[in-house]
Amino acid sequence: MELQFLGTGAGVPVKHRNVMSVALKLLQERNAVWIFDVGEGTQMQILHTSIRPRKIEKIFITHLHGDHLFGLPGLLSSRSFQGGEEKLSSLTIYGPAGIKKFVKTTLSISMTRVNYEIDFYEIPKVGGKIFADDQFEISALPLEHGVLSFGYRVEEKSQEGRLQVNRLQKLGIPFGPLFGKLKKGEKVTLTDGRVLDGKDFVGEKKPGRTLVIIGDTRKSEQAISLAKDADVLVHEATFEDGKEKKARRYFHSTTTQAAEIAKAAGVQKLILTHYSARYSNQDLKLLRKQAQEIFAEVITVKDLDEIEIPAKF
């Protein structure tokens, strides 16, 4: 599980920073990539990465402001060219009400045809669970912005412990169907009369990881609730410390407000992004230092930075 930041800017692109987009690379977990927000120029940023658009399985839009949305039609169109004549797998887009109309309208007016199915999930205003399978569960909560804006919580489910093969081999148990039964925790009787309980030969469950990505927002209780005990929190930091009045007026957050959210939620690591165009990459050290006065584990990312979220053992 790895994050790559395709764009880290707020409002408009600048020479050193594109507007918002974050890729969650789940290549080992499910051979797929999930994208959170698709600001203008996202597909150009992808060209500088190892991401293959055909592997994009899900796209999550936090809200319908252009700096989080305008790159979506182009990315959807370009994805069609990844498979040649082969029909690609379907893709699901999650977002506030209106996302389906936006995509359908832009593709229709530009007479763009895609060679794969696009499914839409328009999230209710109150949020809630929006996806679950045997690997992941995703929920969304509305935040405080000028328009309906969601934060997303991605929870990886616990994985079953590994079968302790070496122990079984030392007991003279041959590879075969018995291994499968023991892995399921079943009891098996050997030809010599010995009874083995699978529960004694399976390691502890490996806890899953939790990632929270907060869309544009003022400092809010919803953000704390969504981020509770997360391993990684990605939070906007549009303004520096001391600009709280301005942040509130524009429905955004400061570096210190993001750190306060991380501290209150008890997260392990805070990643700051979505910086105002007024800040250069050289300013990121200052922004990080401001947040660290409240919460120690802070990273300020630049475009194309990659952050691994290691498995728990």
Return the axis-axis angle of helices 255-265 and 284-292, rounded to nearest 10°: 40
Tokens standing for 308?
């691994």
Residues marked as catalytic: 67
**Alpha-helical segments (H) within the chain:** 27-30, 42-46, 72-79, 99-109, 165-170, 177-183, 221-227, 244-249, 255-265, 284-292
Residue 135, C-beta contacts closer than 8 angstroms, at least 6 positions apart:
29, 30, 156, 157
34 close to 7: Cβ distance less than 8 angstroms: no
* 123 three-state secondary structure: coil
Give Rg (Cα) of the chain: 22
261 close to 226: Cβ distance less than 8 angstroms: no
